[in-house]
């Protein structure tokens, strides 16, 4: 509940129907918590504490148990994020093939640090563990897409397309 | 029943028993942190590994149920090495701040490290730091660095209280126990997580830094906080009297009873003992009201009280016994009342605010011995028509009752109008107060008889189900105070009632002989678990 007493996170009727559908798929409806949290992230942009409490209500769970799940997974955003999310892999193969150079370049171009979002709310920059695409190292994930064999020039082209 | 062999010894246990409990039967200790017989199995700490038959790898004992012919080994080098490795893992990020940890001395990390430690630590890396000394609620304080993530506290809040306040947040070596941001751990049973936390992560805000646990002694007791009669231990400190501001009782802890309270007690009961070492304790008999009160000795006051009891006609006297008194006290009082032929007798005074109750332990009746007082026969007598305690007070107001003997009650905290009670107390010619702590009745009394508290004596309470349970003495009565039965015995002797009991056990014996519900009971018979009376 917000300070005004009004619920500012609330699924639409269609989204609620989807929640019920997902919950019905499992013998224990708690199993549907992950997909419902994804739904919440899509709907609200990020998962605030308020959204956690809202989800807890949908599952008859205590908010603490939803908080456990949200803090466990790095792909749930607890702060507002940009319209685009760029995740640069920093694991071994990418590292050896120049991930740091890619990351430094991105930081410079975007003017933000890892974990930051550009002031216009356009892009959030992350540095992440292995994304399972060593064959295209150094690589990064741009929203739902993988981009590999990165060079500063290629990064520039990708950024230009994003704007 | 299932037969199995553990470390070469055979044992027979009921189906469904796990290997930890089966081993316990044989006196074999399988170490564990996360397992708790009152909670679901988590299999989280991995310390209870044992070898099963020819299985190539050790397996956790908590989540392994016994099967016919099972062969378990808890003493092989593989098991011992496993324990050592698990302990090493548990301590990777542990701050090792035992010298300033309140759990030291009763910490299961210390206990098992002594047996299964590596002793040559191999960790050279910086440890992960986490929040320290975070109050979670009114009673519990968290040190997240000391937590071994056994999840007992989480399961307690999920499964026993159903309140779900706690969770394990983040991931990997950053995992930490905590509350949903902005929430509190304030359920009526919250402090039980302190007892079940095997390490110094959850400690008691009330007890913290008061006394080191190795200076504490223990007495078995019963919580006097409500009619449940939870079994408890009284932990008291006499060896370092300068610690804890001279308070002798340092804390109460639950004591397992399968049918009364299992492993738990409520917070109200846990912290309800403060009156024992409180400055309000009455420590000497006294005569005279308010400022005119003078302390006198027992030898002096007993004949005076006896004289007063003889002076009034039976219908001019009233007795308000207390359901906080033990069966032994109530019985001696009953004998006295019958001897004097008193009819204006009751024990029940309703509190101003009705007590809360739930379906776990807490009972609305905040007295430990209402059932005992009823069985002994100190309730309003049928046919006498004095209208119970309130009727007695009305009679006092109207001058029909001139002498009133009140045990323990603070009548001004009752549900009845204060003015009504003040007037009654003012009007009485002779008001005798017997109790452990000063209150507004003792302040108005002509005679005060100081009682020992329940931790300063032994006795029995009868809980709401009719279970008679013993409590034992932990510390000496404060000042000149005496157990209620002792005071009553001395008065009885002065009134010519003949030889009086010199031990609580004798009072109980006489009670068992006189009151049919208690027939056949004795202290020996009651043992640790008590007996339900044949009501
Ligand atoms: S705080 Fe204590 S009981 Fe709770 S998970 Fe940590 S070690 Fe276990
Ligand atoms: S439930 Fe009653 S008897 Fe048990 S601990 Fe609480 S107050 Fe004491």
What residues pair up with A97 in beta bridges, in sequence order?
none
Which residues in chain A touch residue B165, judged by CB atoms under 8 angstroms apart? 62, 64
Q: Is residue A97 part of a domain?
A: yes
Q: What is the pLDDT of residues B291-339, one digit of tens each?
A: 889 999 999 999 999 999 999 999 999 999 999 999 999 999 999 999 9
pLDDT value at position B380? 78
pLDDT value at position B119? 87
Q: What sections of B156-275 are H helices per DSSP?
A: 192-196, 267-270
Same domain for A101 and A67, yes or no, is no
> A49 and B182 in contact by Cβ < 8 A?
yes
Question: d(Cα B365, Cα B355) in Å, to the nearest integer?
Answer: 6
By C-alpha distance, which of B286, B270, B274, B122 is closest to B204? B270
> A71 and B180 in contact by Cβ < 8 A?
no
CB atoms within 10 A of CB B412: 16
Same domain for A155 and A98, yes or no, is yes
> B169 and A68 in contact by Cβ < 8 A?
yes
Find the CATH number of the domain harbouring A22.
1.10.10
> B168 and A49 in contact by Cβ < 8 A?
no
Same domain for A89 and A47, yes or no, is no
Structure tokens at B340: 């004097």
Which one of the ligands is nearest to B196 CA? Answer: 1
Closest CA of chain A from B209, distance in Å: 30
Predicted-complex ipTM score: 0.88
Q: Is residue A6 part of a domain?
A: no
Q: What is the pLDDT of residues A97-115, one digit of tens each?
A: 999 999 999 999 999 999 9
B169: nearest CB among A53, A61, A67: A67
Same domain for A88 and A147, yes or no, is yes
Closest CA of chain B from A94, distance in Å: 23
> A64 and B165 in contact by Cβ < 8 A?
yes
What average pLDDT score do residues A143-147 get? 94
Same domain for A88 and A68, yes or no, is no
CB B433 within 8 A of CB B450: no
Chain position carrying tokens 């549900």: B415
Distance B226 CA to ligand 2 centre (A): 5
Question: d(Cα B300, Cα B287) in Å, to the nearest integer?
Answer: 10
Q: Is residue A40 part of a domain?
A: yes
pLDDT value at position B445? 97
Please give the residue of chain B at the shortest CA–CA distance from A68: B169
> A65 and B170 in contact by Cβ < 8 A?
no
Q: Is residue A8 part of a domain?
A: no
| Domains observed in chain B | 2-91 (3.10.20.740), 98-104+125-277 (3.30.70.20), 286-532 (3.40.50.740)
Same domain for A44 and A92, yes or no, is no
> B180 and A64 in contact by Cβ < 8 A?
yes
Same domain for A60 and A109, yes or no, is no
Closest CA of chain A from B153, distance in Å: 13
pLDDT in tens, chain B (535 residues): 999 999 999 999 999 999 999 999 999 999 999 999 999 999 999 999 999 999 999 999 999 999 999 999 999 999 999 999 999 999 999 999 999 999 999 999 999 999 999 888 888 899 999 999 999 999 999 999 999 999 999 999 999 999 999 999 999 999 999 999 999 999 999 999 999 999 999 999 999 999 999 999 999 999 999 999 999 999 999 999 888 888 999 999 999 999 999 999 999 999 999 999 999 999 999 999 988 899 999 999 999 999 999 999 999 999 999 999 999 999 999 999 999 999 999 999 999 999 999 999 999 999 999 999 999 999 876 655 567 999 999 999 999 999 999 999 999 999 999 999 999 999 999 999 999 999 999 999 999 999 999 999 999 999 999 999 999 999 999 999 999 999 999 999 999 998 999 999 999 999 999 999 999 999 999 999 999 997 5
Same domain for A94 and A152, yes or no, is yes
Q: Does residue A3 surpass a pLDDT of 60? A: no
Residue B162 contacts A where some CB pair is shorter than 8 Å: no
Which one of the ligands is nearest to B229 CA? Answer: 2
* Chain pair A-B, CB pairs under 8 angstroms: 39
Q: Is residue B150 within 6 Å of ligand 1 at its C-beta?
A: yes
Distance B469 CA to ligand 2 centre (A): 14
Q: Is residue B144 within 6 Å of ligand 1 at its C-beta?
A: no
Which residue lies with its CA nearest to atom 2 of ligand 1? B197
CB atoms within 10 A of CB B460: 28
Half-sphere exposure of A122 (CA within 13 A, CB side): 12
Phi first, then psi, for residue A88 (nearest 5°) are: -95, 130
pLDDT value at position A5? 41
pLDDT value at position B291? 84
Find the CATH number of the domain harbouring A90.
3.40.30.10
Give the length of chain B.
535
Q: Which residues, judged by CB distance below 6 Å to any ligand atom, belong to the binding site of ligand 2? A: B 223, 225-226, 228-230, 261, 265-266, 268-269, 361-363
Number of domains in chain A: 2
Q: Is residue A4 part of a domain?
A: no
Residue A62 contacts B where some CB pair is shorter than 8 Å: yes
A63: nearest CB among B157, B158, B180: B180
Same domain for A63 and A113, yes or no, is no
pLDDT value at position A13? 96
CB B405 within 8 A of CB B364: no
Which one of the ligands is nearest to B265 CA? Answer: 2
- Give A73 or B290, the one with higher predicted confidence: A73
Residue B181 contacts A where some CB pair is shorter than 8 Å: yes
Question: d(Cα B342, Cα B336) in Å, to the nearest integer?
Answer: 9
Q: Is residue B305 within 6 Å of ligand 1 at its C-beta?
A: no
pLDDT value at position A2? 38
pLDDT value at position A4? 42
pLDDT value at position B386? 66
Residue A67 contacts B where some CB pair is shorter than 8 Å: yes
Q: Is residue B185 within 6 Å of ligand 1 at its C-beta?
A: no
Domain membership of residue A24 as a residue range: 13-72
Q: Is residue A79 part of a domain?
A: no
Same domain for A68 and A122, yes or no, is no
B181: nearest CB among A49, A61, A72: A49
Same domain for A110 and A147, yes or no, is yes
Listed residues A21, A40, A72: the one ending a domain: A72
Q: Is B232 helix (H, G, I), strand (E, B) or coil?
A: strand
The helix (run of H) or strand (run of E) holding residue B431 is strand B430-435
Residue A49 contacts B where some CB pair is shorter than 8 Å: yes
Same domain for A56 and A123, yes or no, is no
> B164 and A61 in contact by Cβ < 8 A?
yes
> B167 and A67 in contact by Cβ < 8 A?
yes
Structure tokens at B209: 């830094």
Structure tokens at B413: 């905290």
A64: nearest CB among B167, B170, B171: B167
């Amino acid at each position: 509940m917000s300070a005004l007493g009004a619920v500012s996170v609330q699924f639409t009727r269609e989204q609620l129907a989807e929640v019920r559908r997902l919950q019905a798929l499992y013998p224990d409806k708690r199993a549907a918590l992950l997909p419902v949290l994804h739904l919440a992230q899509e709907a609200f942009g990020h998962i605030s504490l308020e959204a956690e409490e809202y989800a807890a209500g949908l599952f008859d769970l205590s908010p603490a148990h939803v908080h456990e799940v949200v803090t466990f997974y790095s792909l749930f955003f607890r702060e507002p994020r940009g319209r685009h999310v760029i995740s640069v892999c920093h694991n071994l193969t990418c590292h050896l093939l120049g991930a740091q150079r890619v990351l430094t370049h991105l930081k410079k171009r975007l003017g933000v640090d890892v974990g930051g979002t550009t002031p216009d709310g356009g892009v959030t920059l992350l540095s992440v563990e292995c994304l399972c695409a060593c064959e295209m190292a150094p690589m990064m994930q741009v929203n739902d897409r993988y981009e590999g064999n990165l060079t500063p020039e290629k990064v520039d082209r990708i950024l230009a397309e994003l704007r | 029943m299932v037969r199995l062999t553990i470390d070469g010894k055979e044992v027979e246990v009921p189906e469904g028993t796990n290997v930890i409990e089966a081993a316990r039967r044989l006196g074999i200790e399988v170490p564990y942190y996360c397992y708790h017989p009152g909670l679901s199995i988590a299999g989280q700490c991995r310390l209870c590994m044992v070898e099963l038959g020819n299985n190539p790898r050790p397996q956790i004992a908590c989540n392994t149920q016994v099967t016919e012919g099972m062969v378990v080994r808890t003493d092989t080098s593989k098991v011992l090495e496993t324990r050592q490795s698990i302990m090493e893992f548990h301590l990777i990020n542990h701050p090792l701040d035992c010298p300033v940890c309140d759990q030291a001395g009763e910490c299961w990390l210390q206990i098992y490290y002594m047996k299964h430690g590596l002793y040559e630590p191999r960790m050279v890396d910086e440890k992960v730091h986490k929040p320290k000394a975070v109050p979670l609620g009114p009673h519990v304080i968290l040190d997240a660095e000391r937590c071994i993530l056994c999840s007992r506290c989480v399961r307690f809040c999920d499964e026993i209280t159903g309140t779900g306040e706690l969770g394990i947040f983040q991931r990997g070596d950053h995992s930490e126990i905590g509350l949903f941001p902005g929430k509190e751990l304030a359920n009526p049973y919250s402090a039980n997580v302190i007892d079940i936390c095997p390490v110094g992560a959850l400690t008691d805000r009330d007890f913290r830094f008061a006394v080191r646990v190795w200076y504490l002694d223990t007495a078995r007791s019963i919580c006097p906080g409500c009619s449940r009669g939870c079994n408890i231990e009284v932990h008291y400190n006499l060896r370092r009297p300068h610690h804890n501001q001279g308070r002798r009782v340092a804390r109460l802890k639950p004591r397992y009873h399968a049918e009364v309270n299992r492993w738990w007690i409520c917070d109200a009961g846990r912290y309800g003992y403060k009156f024992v070492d409180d400055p309000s304790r009455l420590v000497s008999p006294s005569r005279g009201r308010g400022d005119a009160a003078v302390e006198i000795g027992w030898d002096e006051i007993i004949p005076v009280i006896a004289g007063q009891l003889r002076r009034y006609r039976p219908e001019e006297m009233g007795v308000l016994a207390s359901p906080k008194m033990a069966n032994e006290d109530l019985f001696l009082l009953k004998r006295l009342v019958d001897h004097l032929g008193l009819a204006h007798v009751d024990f029940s005074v309703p509190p101003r605010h009705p007590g809360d109750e739930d379906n776990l332990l807490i009972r609305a009746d905040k007295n430990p011995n209402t059932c005992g007082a009823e069985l002994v026969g100190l309730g309003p007598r049928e046919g006498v028509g004095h209208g119970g305690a309130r009727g007695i007070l009305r009679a006092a107001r109207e001058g029909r009752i001139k002498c009133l003997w009140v045990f323990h009650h603070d009548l001004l905290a009752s549900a009845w109008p204060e003015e009504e009670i003040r007037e009654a107390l003012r009007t009485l010619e002779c008001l005798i107060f017997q109790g452990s702590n000063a209150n507004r009745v003792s302040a108005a009394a002509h005679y005060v008889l100081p009682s020992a508290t329940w931790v300063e004596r032994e006795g029995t309470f009868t809980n709401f189900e009719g279970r008679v349970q013993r409590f034992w003495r932990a510390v000496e009565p404060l000042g000149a105070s005496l157990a209620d039965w002792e005071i009553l015995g001395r008065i009885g002797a002065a009134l010519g009632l003949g030889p009086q009991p010199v031990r609580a056990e004798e009072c109980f014996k006489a009670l068992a002989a006189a009151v049919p519900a208690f027939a056949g009971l004795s202290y020996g018979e009651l043992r640790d678990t008590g007996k339900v009376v044949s009501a």
